[in-house]
Amino acid sequence: MNKSSICLTVFFEDPFWVGIFERQAQGALTVCKVTFGAEPKDGEVYDFVLRNYASLRFSPAVAAPVKAHAENPKRAQRQARGQIRRTGIGTKAQQALKLQQEQLKTERQTQLRQQRGQEKENRFALKQKQRKAKHRGK
């Protein structure tokens, strides 16, 4: 049986409040980082999740083993309390964010390279047109 889980961790990363969405499904972990700005209230976070979850850009998948655990409500409560006390994000999440950052960087570089090439071709075509016009005496 395939299980999937989503975890949102909100913490203060000077000077803004940041939320880390961790989505784990089929043995793969994907992460998305969201900057809130001022400290968000519970209702604002809930509203953000309802309105914007579909449009979040998650990182490429990183292999993460699926942990099987018993459905014990007290254990879940202890884990939630521990996560609240703990600050920062997990190393797997950091790796996934770094991977997403590198992927976006390479996309930007290729787009910029194509744009520069197109501008260079346009300048060359304009020069050729001006040369022909000058040669014709215009």
Q: How many alpha carbons fall within 13 Å on the CB side of residue 11?
A: 14
Say if residue 76's pLDDT is above 60. Answer: yes
Residue 1, pLDDT > 60, answer no
- The total of structural domains in the chain comes to 1
Model confidence band, residue 16 (pLDDT cutoffs 50, 70, 90): confident
Burial group, residue 91, by CB count within 10 angstroms (0-12, 13-18, 19+): exposed
Confidence tier at 15 by pLDDT (50, 70, 90): confident
- Residue 2's SS3 state is coil
88 to each of 8, 52, 132, how far by Cα in Å?
12, 23, 64
Q: What tens digit of pLDDT does each residue of 83-113 get? A: 777 755 567 777 788 888 888 999 999 999 9
26 token code pair? 């089929």
CA pseudo-torsion sign 39, 41, 47, 50: positive
In a domain, 29, yes or no: yes
> Has residue 93 been placed in a domain?
yes
Q: Tell me the C-alpha distance between 68 and 46, whole Å.
A: 27
Domain that holds residue 26: 4-109
Report percent pLDDT > 70 for the chain.
90
What pTM value is reported for the model? 0.53
